[in-house]
Structure 1
Amino acid sequence: MTFTYRFIDSPVGQLKLVAQDSCLAAILWENDRPNRVPLGVMSEDEGSDILNRAEEQLHEYFAGRRSRFDLELNFRGTEFQKKVWHALLTIPFGETRSYLDIAVQIGNPAAVRAVGAANGRNPISIITPCHRVIGSSGALTGFAGGLMAKELLLTLEGCLPQKAPKARGGDASKQRSLF
């Protein structure tokens, strides 16, 4: 399997968009943990339609002009992970869910920790909105892009929980904005 990739700048840092054929396979963070999302051999993009569309839709999202993405996605993971990732796609823009909510939604309320682990391995960040999953207390919990990025995304969508402590390291609203 061959993947193509492209880097784009965003208010949450540089993102690596990865395609496989005509589907989006991953959006990786600038400081992503190596092998968080296992992919095959990659080559630099030479004008992929799916990467063009993903980049355009992400620009619109960050500019506040898009609340829903329309892209073909290719999830690579276990059946359990895919079930969790598909549940993430049902969380509406501007709303959050807890890990328990997702576990109940997929029919396995005892799998809260496994849901958290699958959430952390979500290969298609932002578009598959793992940032909308928070702790039952309203706390912002672990996020592959970092808690400041999670805070920025939730603020952009107008759903940062009131009781959520501010992310350390500065005000997310002061992150660079390139759009």
Structure 2
Amino acid sequence: MMNYQAFTGIVTAINDFSIGQYNEVGCYKLMSVDNGYGNAVNFVVAPTTYFVDQEVVSVGDQVTGFYDGNAPAPLIFPPQYNAVIMYKNTSGQFVKVDHFDEQLVSSDHTLQLNMNPATKVVLKNGQPFTGNLANRDLLVVYGATTRSIPAQTTPYQIVVLCS
């Protein structure tokens, strides 16, 4: 199970990033993100990084980058993480990436999903997912929530993150 961590901020730079001996210029990007409170992160964006709704991100956009908190990272400043998922923030819409249990409650117990037949449930490749959502890593796109603990929501879309 991946330990999903998130960092939200404004994209300040996007540059080509060379990786490995083959120097595949253009395939990898280094995306610098600043949260406006003195914290910055560089995300290594690979061809395999999943962009929610395939949004194109530009300098000046507010984004949330998700990375594996258990993965090794170089000890440099600003921190540099391999982006697993990138989300271009949209007003009134939220994203949660986490492991959800058999009651569809996130591992940090902050969000519970109430399913609706209109909820779009897909794999990362966009194909429909027809299995059980319980005990899986999910990317959840949602709007309004209840003020309960955990907050409850009926998601707009769920992307199943099969390992």
TM-score (norm 1): 0.30
Q: Which has the larger radius of gyration?
A: 2
Which is helix-richer, 1 or 2? 1
Higher relative contact order (CA 8 A, sep 6+): 1
TM-score (norm 2): 0.31
Which is strand-richer, 1 or 2? 2
